[in-house]
Amino acid sequence: MVFVVSLVVSLALGAWYNSVITEQSARLVEVAQSRARMIEAIAEYDRLDGYNHDRTHADSEKVTLGQVASAHKKFKGFGDTGEFTLAKKEGNKIVFFLKHRHDIEDIPKDVVWGSDVAAPMHKALQGESGLLIGLDYRGVEVIAAYEPVKLLNYGLVAKIDLSEIKKPFIYRAIQLILISITMVTIAALFFMRISTKLLRKIEHDEALIRGVIESAEDLIFAKNLTGQYIFVNRAMECLYNLPKAKILGKTPHEILPESLADNMCLNDGLVLKNIKFNNLECHFLIDGEIETYHTNKSPMVLDNGQISGQIGVSRNVTEQIKTESSLKDAVEKLDYTAQKYQKIFKTAEVSLWDEDFTELCTALEKLKNKGVVDIRKYLNDHLSEAYDLAALIKINDVNDKTLAIYGAKSKEDFFNSVTDTFGEDGIHIFIDEVEALWTGERSFTAKSKQRKVDGSEIHVVISIPLPKDKKLLKNVPVSIVDITERIIFEQKMVEEEKAKAELEFIVNQSPIVAFLWKNKEGWPVEYVSENVSAWGYSKEQFETNKISFSDIIEPRDLKKMSEEIQKYSEKYEDSFTQEYRILTPDGSVRWIDDKTWIRRNAQGEITHYQGICIDITEQKEFERQLWQAQKSESLGNMAGGIAHDFNNMLLPIIALADLTANQLEDNDPIRKRLIKILESGQNAQELVKRLMIFAREEETLLKEVDVNDLLASSFDLLQATIPSSMEITCNLLEKNVNILGSYAQLQSVFINIAKNAADAVQGKNALLDIKTSVVLNNFPLLKSFLKDGKSEKYLHIRMKDNGPGINQKHLARIFDPFFTTKPVGEGTGMGLAMVLSIVSAHHGVITVNSRLNKGTTFDIYLPII
């Protein structure tokens, strides 16, 4: 180390010294040459000047020397030892002329030509020019430049003591050597101190690296050129299941089956041609499982570039491959899921909007920081800000259903007109939404009336989940459901409800009673219209099942009705009509016309019957009267037709019997017979008359009739014609009235009714009570029979007997012409028919009521003028 340092220092100093010497030499040469040329120039001048002054060369030489000496006096030399010397060879001596600085003597002593000293001056005086290191006139080693001064044959030397030049180098050399020794010593000490640690560290590191390599899970190996292992780590031992000693020095083919060995040696040839391979895939069967290894192979290259073998590292990537495979699966699954959700988004039956709330929420945060507390009030007060906030919501995407709902042809079409879809209430719904967001609600739902792209109205429900997590603000799924149909349906429902209520009102105002009864024993009622009150029952009585439908049916009609329903139900008819009677709470009987619909369930079973029932009692009575009238009319027509012929036929019977009888003696037996013929003919004539009255063949002339007078005369007539076994009572009107009528016909009415009563009673205590009164046209028993053109007041004549009564069957036919219960020959059946005809001709009403064993009552009502 010291040597090296000294060498380096010496070399450095040597080089420096050389350069200094070269530099000094050049300076000396330059100085010597310039001074010599200058002296030559002065000598030349002096010589020329000498020509002008007739001076000799020797004198001129002296002048020149004098000038040089004079100039030289002030010259103090250069450095410590540098000076010029000027000399001339005189004989065998060298004579110096100039005073030199080494104060030995004023002018150096002459030197013997050819001596060792003044070597440079020798050279200069020999006419040479150059540089040398040699002894000067003092015998001191100098470096000197010598130059001849040719005109004067002098020599000039510029010199400096070599010692002066060497002195700093020697000093520096000593200094450097000392420093070097010190440094080397220090370095040696330091090196000594740390080299031990370094060595230990290197050893440790090597052990560590070896340990790492040995214990690495990767297979690490090195093979020589012939493919024999020269290094294997522990993992290789495990792989081969052999100790190192049995692996090293062997090729894989000596250890493994050929196919596996081939696998191991894959591309070995190429590696030895200096090609690196990464991730060569090899497979090994380990414990029955195929394990996959990725091998990196690279050549081992020596310093001289020769390849000595190869190094390989194999890594078991089975797990990695599995992991990658599962990762790939997961990614695929994720991709599938993403696609699935994308598909769901795209094909959802609900309008979905993917919206970005980030900017909106940021803006709301700012408002919060600004001190806004009540956002609703704030936005309502600053509506333009609300619109600005709404514009901050970015719509990322919408699905196909959205386009369908809003009638947009494409997304572009939709986005171009999306602001037109917001309804008039849009901004207020937006404010509600912002408030929900502001107050941290989890979701927001609102109904809104919006517009389609074409401007038509739609009703929608908007649902927005309001995310707490800021990350979710970027994709807020807003769903919009089109409820237009539902709204229209609801409106329709409301209208239908209204219509239903109106219908119910109409039904209740109408004479139609609507029933819905169940197909169960007794027909329990599920619904009945309120107007059932017209029958004297209440809706509630039926609907709380206090009364069932069958309870009100007249018992005589119930069986028939059940059979009818049964019949139509079996026929699978939808509806049928029937007439039946019902009983009212006051005991009266009403006729009902019922149209019944049969309701069935999905299985075809009858669940309900619904009926609309009309009270046709009055209509029935009217029909009866009409039927009566029609019957009477046809009979009248018939009677009119036969009366003429009949009268003609009776003429010979009556007239000839009368004639012949009168021509016979009173006691002639034939005369008696003829009288019987005459009487019988006259009876027939009477019958024809009655028929004609019935047929109104004989015009009824109605005149003003005094009622009390009529009653009085009729009473007298009755007393005369009715058997005395029947007591007749008759009252007169307190206040007499007039009616328009036929005296005779009205009398015949009384007589006919009285005769019937007398025939029926046939016994003692027979009684006929005639009561008369005046009633108004709203008299309960009368009003339902009156038609248009009715009078205000009516004369009511009630004729009541105490006979056996008439059964219902007969009572219904009592006014029929030719209807009689009397034996053949005793009654004509025209009496009451004529009575009805007369009363009708008087624009009156006649009714009959009868109770068995109690008697029969005729009520006659005649209009009062």
Least gap, CB of 720 to another protein (angstroms): 24
What is the C-alpha separation between 858 and 430, in angstroms, rounded?
85
Number of helical (H) and strand (E) elements in the chain, helices listed first: 27, 28
Can residue 696 be called a binding residue for another protein (CB under 8 A)?
yes
Dihedrals phi, psi of 468, to nearest 5 degrees? -85, -35
- Do the strands 726-730 and 766-776 form a parallel or antiparallel pair, or are they unpaired? parallel
Candidates 167-175, 264-272, 430-438, 646-654 — which segment interacts with another protein by CB under 8 A?
646-654
Binds another protein (CB under 8 A): choice among 73, 328, 644, 703 = 644
Binds another protein (CB under 8 A): choice among 296, 508, 550, 647 = 647
> Residue for token digits 């929900």?
436
Burial 479-512 (b: 16+ CB within 10 A, else e): bbbbbbeebeeeeeeeeeeeeeeeeeeebbeeeb
Site string for another protein, 602-641 (x = CB under 8 A): ----------------------------------x--xxx
Count of Cβ atoms closer than 10 Å to residue 618 Cβ: 13
Taking the least distance from each CB to another protein, the nearer of 612 and 653 is 653
Least gap, CB of 642 to another protein (angstroms): 7
Can residue 697 be called a binding residue for another protein (CB under 8 A)?
yes
Candidates 152-160, 357-365, 691-699, 853-861 — which segment interacts with another protein by CB under 8 A?
691-699
What is the C-alpha separation between 441 and 652, in angstroms, rounded?
119
Binding residues among 649-668 for another protein as defined by CB under 8 A? 649-656, 658-659, 662-663
Least gap, CB of 706 to another protein (angstroms): 26
> Residue for token digits 């609703």?
376
Can residue 673 be called a binding residue for another protein (CB under 8 A)?
no
Dihedrals phi, psi of 793, to nearest 5 degrees? -125, 150
Least gap, CB of 710 to another protein (angstroms): 24
Can residue 208 be called a binding residue for another protein (CB under 8 A)?
no
Least gap, CB of 635 to another protein (angstroms): 13
Candidates 261-269, 354-362, 369-377, 692-700 — which segment interacts with another protein by CB under 8 A?
692-700
Least gap, CB of 638 to another protein (angstroms): 10
Candidates 344-352, 541-549, 681-689, 836-844 — which segment interacts with another protein by CB under 8 A?
681-689
Among the listed residues 709, 862, 724, 716, the one whose alpha carbon sits nearest the alpha carbon of residue 782: 862
C-alpha distances out from residue 377 to 385, 388, 426, 735, Å: 12, 16, 17, 88
Tell me the three state secondary structure of residue 632: helix
**Beta-carbon-side half-sphere exposure of residue 22 (alpha carbons within 13 Å):** 6
What is the C-alpha separation between 448 and 196, in angstroms, rounded?
89
Taking the least distance from each CB to another protein, the nearer of 155 and 681 is 681
What is the C-alpha separation between 162 and 102, in angstroms, rounded?
15
Binds another protein (CB under 8 A): choice among 23, 90, 388, 698 = 698
Least gap, CB of 838 to another protein (angstroms): 16
Least gap, CB of 693 to another protein (angstroms): 11
CA gyration radius, the chain: 80
- Give the chain's length: 865
Structure tokens at 637: 């027509």
Taking the least distance from each CB to another protein, the nearer of 334 and 701 is 701
Least gap, CB of 836 to another protein (angstroms): 18
Taking the least distance from each CB to another protein, the nearer of 622 and 646 is 646
Taking the least distance from each CB to another protein, the nearer of 636 and 863 is 636
Number of residues that bind another protein (CB under 8 A): 33
Dihedrals phi, psi of 388, to nearest 5 degrees? -60, -45
Long-range contacts (CB closer than 8 Å, 24 or more residues apart) made by 694-699: 694/632, 694/635, 694/636, 694/639, 694/817, 694/830, 694/833, 694/834, 694/837, 695/635, 695/636, 695/637, 695/638, 695/639, 695/640, 695/643, 696/636, 696/837, 696/841, 697/636, 697/639, 697/640, 697/643
Candidates 180-188, 354-362, 388-396, 678-686 — which segment interacts with another protein by CB under 8 A?
678-686
Taking the least distance from each CB to another protein, the nearer of 685 and 857 is 685
> Residue for token digits 């517009």?
451
For CA atoms 71, 72, 74, 80, give the dihedral sign: positive
Burial 300-327 (b: 16+ CB within 10 A, else e): beeeeeeeebbbbbbbbbbeeeeeeeee
Least gap, CB of 697 to another protein (angstroms): 6
Can residue 426 be called a binding residue for another protein (CB under 8 A)?
no
> Residue for token digits 């919408």?
398
What is the C-alpha separation between 430 and 393, in angstroms, rounded?
11
Candidates 101-109, 176-184, 194-202, 696-704 — which segment interacts with another protein by CB under 8 A?
696-704
Residue 59 identity (one-letter amino acid): D
Least gap, CB of 623 to another protein (angstroms): 25
C-alpha distances out from residue 246 to 228, 234, 250, 502, 713, Å: 11, 13, 8, 110, 166
Least gap, CB of 692 to another protein (angstroms): 7
Can residue 760 be called a binding residue for another protein (CB under 8 A)?
no
Taking the least distance from each CB to another protein, the nearer of 800 and 843 is 843
Binds another protein (CB under 8 A): choice among 584, 685, 738, 747 = 685
Least gap, CB of 747 to another protein (angstroms): 20
Can residue 648 be called a binding residue for another protein (CB under 8 A)?
yes
Least gap, CB of 678 to another protein (angstroms): 7
Least gap, CB of 665 to another protein (angstroms): 15
Taking the least distance from each CB to another protein, the nearer of 143 and 650 is 650
Taking the least distance from each CB to another protein, the nearer of 619 and 647 is 647
Among the listed residues 320, 250, 248, the one whose alpha carbon sits nearest the alpha carbon of residue 279: 320
Taking the least distance from each CB to another protein, the nearer of 403 and 702 is 702
Taking the least distance from each CB to another protein, the nearer of 530 and 658 is 658
Report the interface residues with another protein, using CB under 8 A.
Answer: 636, 639-656, 658-659, 662-663, 678, 681-682, 685, 692, 695-699
